[in-house]
Amino acid sequence: MNLFGTDGVRGRVGEEPMTPECVLRLAQAAGLVLRHEPKPMVLIGKDTRVSGYLFESALEAGLLAAGVNVRLIGPLPTPGVAYLTKTFRATGGLVISASHNPYMDNGIKFLNGEGGKMDRAFQLAVEEVLARPFRMADSRAIGKASRLRDAQGRYVEYCKATLAAGLDLNGLVIALDCAHGAAYRVAPDVFEELGARLVPMGVAPDGYNINERCGSTDPAALCELVRTSGAHCGIALDGDGDRVVLVDEQGAVVDGDGMLFILATAWARKGRLQGPVVTTTMSNLALEHALARQGIFLVRVEVGDHHVAEGMRQYGANLGGEPSGHILCLDRSTTGDGIVAALQVLEIMMATGQGLRQLVQQYQPLPQVLLNVPLPEPGFSSLGEPRIQQAMADATRMLASRGRVVVRPSGTEAVIRVMVEGIDHNEAQEIASSLAALLQDHRTHD
């Protein structure tokens, strides 16, 4: 059994593993694994999906049945749950969310007591327990549940405190897109209490509109809002608030790579940058070259923010992230945090008096084409087939030093991602389309 992807357990609501029975058993198994402490306690947070109520109850019941105490948080960004998990010295934290996916999907993210992602050893232990019959704790040993009061207020104050002392956002106009997700209350509070004037969108969740034509994966509406409102910048969070992309004053998107460039170069000048910048195979080659020109080294790891976090700890780095907008500032937070990352960039804007366009002008990304090939079933992959391997090798040779090819299964969706970047956009598009067609043909005829 292999339930875990790059960010916990995720799937379509009503289909395994995202059914009430599966989530109940998953929580009970996780509870048994976590019962290495005398009085284990787990915090449960969620985003705004309508199915969150259902899975919150299932997780609560499973953990209580295993003898674990539970504290319910309600809607709060994943990094907020991570912060509170560490603050309250909990054994672990659970977040009910499928991040940037639509409301029909949901998932469970697992956090350790330090607020980071649970490691593979924990996942394997949970899968081992799941293979056994369901076993409930003795009635005297079952857990207790309570609600954590003022969780949102605590997280708001934490976020505000990550801005440099003496700085505020007075005079700044921000178009803020909360994706109708977990940050819909806390994010406006953070930026307004720091003095910014907001032009908000995506702050009216109904359980079904999370990430719908909004958020970090679809910032087109925010780009238009920045242009029409005269905002100094735009901030787009995803459904659970751990991703962010920015929009400059002219309505152009600044993705995670652009944010890494701004932060790395500014931190290096101030002496704040520690170690290399850690990113993934998906980051643009131009970022590596632009940082090198500034004397900053870049290290690549596998896709997934937990791989980035592991790499950062390995290299003693305090800055890392992904082009999707997972930005980790480990001297400010324990995990990717969209609000905190945005504040770090805004801090540079306020301190220098420069807009996003000026701050990012020395980084010009190479054209990059990303295509998704749907899988016929979860876990299916044809990447090991000789014909596919040969096509990928041929494409890499064709681009030579002018670009890169990355083909990998997604850890969050049932697709294979084909990414090709190069100096010539038409060439990159042609190569990506050819590889995607080959994968599609193999998928259809397998």
The phi and psi torsions of 305 (rounded to 5 degrees) equal -65, -25
54 touches 21 (CB < 8 A): no
274 touches 371 (CB < 8 A): no
Return d(Cα 211, Cα 358) in angstroms, integer.
29
- Which tokens go with 25? 């058993």
Q: Which residues contact 115 (CB under 8 A, 6 or more apart)?
A: 82, 83, 85, 86, 93, 333, 334, 335
Return d(Cα 25, Cα 108) in angstroms, integer.
13
Which strand (E) or helix (H) includes residue 54?
Answer: helix 52-65
**Nearest one of 150, 8, 6 to 93, comparing CA atoms:** 8
Four-residue CA torsion sign, 77, 81, 86, 87: positive
Return d(Cα 338, Cα 343) in angstroms, integer.
9
Of 97, 99, 283, 324, which one is the catalytic site residue?
99
Render the burial of 361-385: b for 16+ CB within 10 Å, e for the rest.
eebebbbbbebebebeebeeebeee
363 touches 286 (CB < 8 A): yes
Q: Map tokens 């190069």 to a residue.
A: 422
Q: Which residues contact 293 (CB under 8 A, 6 or more apart)?
A: 362
Which strand (E) or helix (H) includes residue 121?
Answer: helix 120-130
Return d(Cα 69, Cα 399) in angstroms, integer.
55
Q: Is 99 marked active-site?
A: yes
Catalytic residues: 99
